[in-house]
Amino acid sequence: MRAMPVVFPDDPAAWAFEEQYLLGPALFVAPVLASGVAVRFYLPAGTWCDLETEERVAGPRVMTRTVPVDVIPVYGREGFLLPLGPDVQHTDELTAWAVLNEVWAFGIPRHDLELPGMHPQAQRTRGQIWLRNLPKGTPVRLFGGGSAEVSDRWIRFCDRSPAPRTSPPQ
């Protein structure tokens, strides 16, 4: 969990939003502090994928959303991959064979995954992105448009995604 000034030191607008944070390099979180109150937050520069609606939103911008207390605005940072592992009670339950259950891709990946004992790599060739060396049968969920072709040990991403929304919906 990292505060906005730490992640975006060159963006003074982000410093004023003290409750929001990045969870790892890929997830932006805007906590809901009270029921029935509008949540105001700042999305820094870049494109972000709303995990609830899967809509792409362009930053930088201030957003306001009214959500129930049990719904937290979470956005995936475009270009990043989020590895998801199995549900465990403690780390002793993890094995080298059960580290990765699924991968979430926010748009077309521009960064490699960092996983212990594995070396997945994102490679760009002829306008496409290939994610190679995944454990066999790893499912992938693609947020924010585009398409992905999955094989036993690789995924090919094609950017056919719509432009991100830059203004609030009517």
Model confidence at 97, in pLDDT bands (50, 70, 90)? low
Greater confidence, 43 or 101?
43
Dihedral, CA of residue 96, residue 94, residue 110 and residue 19, to nearest 10: -160
Greater confidence, 31 or 80?
31
Q: How far is CA 105 from the centre of its chain?
A: 7
In this prediction, residue 85 carries a pLDDT of: 82
- List the domain boundaries for the chain: 2-77, 81-158
Residue 170 pLDDT greater than 50, yes or no = no
In this prediction, residue 169 carries a pLDDT of: 41
> For the segment 44-83, what is each residue's pLDDT rounded down to a tens digit?
999 999 998 888 999 999 999 988 888 899 999 988 888 8
Write down the CATH superfamily of domain 2-77: Golgi alpha-mannosidase II (2.60.40.1180)
CB count in 10 Å sphere of residue 85: 12
CB count in 10 Å sphere of residue 68: 9
Greater confidence, 34 or 140?
34
In this prediction, residue 93 carries a pLDDT of: 81
Task: Report how far apart, in Å, the C-alpha atoms of 22 and of each of 3, 19, 32, 118 are.
Answer: 7, 10, 15, 24
**Model-wide pTM > 0.85:** no
> For the segment 118-146, what is each residue's pLDDT rounded down to a tens digit?
666 666 666 566 666 677 777 778 887 66
